[in-house]
Amino acid sequence: MSMESFEQNDNELTSTFPVKIRKVPKSLEDIVRITKFNKSEIRLLYKGFKQECPSGAVTERDFQTIYSHFFPHGNCRDYTNYLFRVLDRRKRMYFTFEDYIQALSILVRGDIKEKLQWVFRFYDISDNGKLTKQTIETILRSIYDLLGPNSCIHQPLTDATIEKHSA
């Protein structure tokens, strides 16, 4: 698939959805090279990404809206804030398809070291290279809030719970 195919799909969508920020991804070959996905997987992921975000750039507010559809009974604000921070590595106030697919590539097909580094960045909400009991508790609380108060796995955050999740 060439860049023209990406742009043709973009043009069809953006004529329907006017946008302020518009980001077109690198060529398909470039994305194959920087991820562990093949061309057909990338096409499928791109199609889904563009359906949710026709502009090609996801703001934190957009991200919260997307997550609220998947977790309608929970509060996704804190969780999406922490996840958005990791996806918006360049601190531009949005992330692109490339940012998304690189993270997904690590989480789905990365080796254990890559996955651990990514998860560490997610939990390192202070961005200081350290994880504390408090930061782990903060992330766990955001996950419980995301799932909602009636979730079958919702449990009180005790020292034992935090220890269990951080082991």
Query: Domains of the chain (ranges plus CATH)?
Result: 3-166 (1.10.238.10)
Residues of the chain with pLDDT under 70: 1-23, 152-158, 162, 165-167
Residue with tokens 């994305």: 31
> Count of CB atoms within 10 A of residue 154's CB?
14
Task: Confirm if 79 and 44 have CB atoms less than 8 A apart.
Answer: no
Q: State pTM to two decimals.
A: 0.77
> Count of CB atoms within 10 A of residue 63's CB?
21
Predicted local distance difference test score (pLDDT) of residue 155? 62
Predicted local distance difference test score (pLDDT) of residue 160? 74
Predicted local distance difference test score (pLDDT) of residue 104? 98
Reading phi first (left if > 0) and then psi (alpha if -120 to 50, else beta), residue 131 is in: beta
> Count of CB atoms within 10 A of residue 152's CB?
6
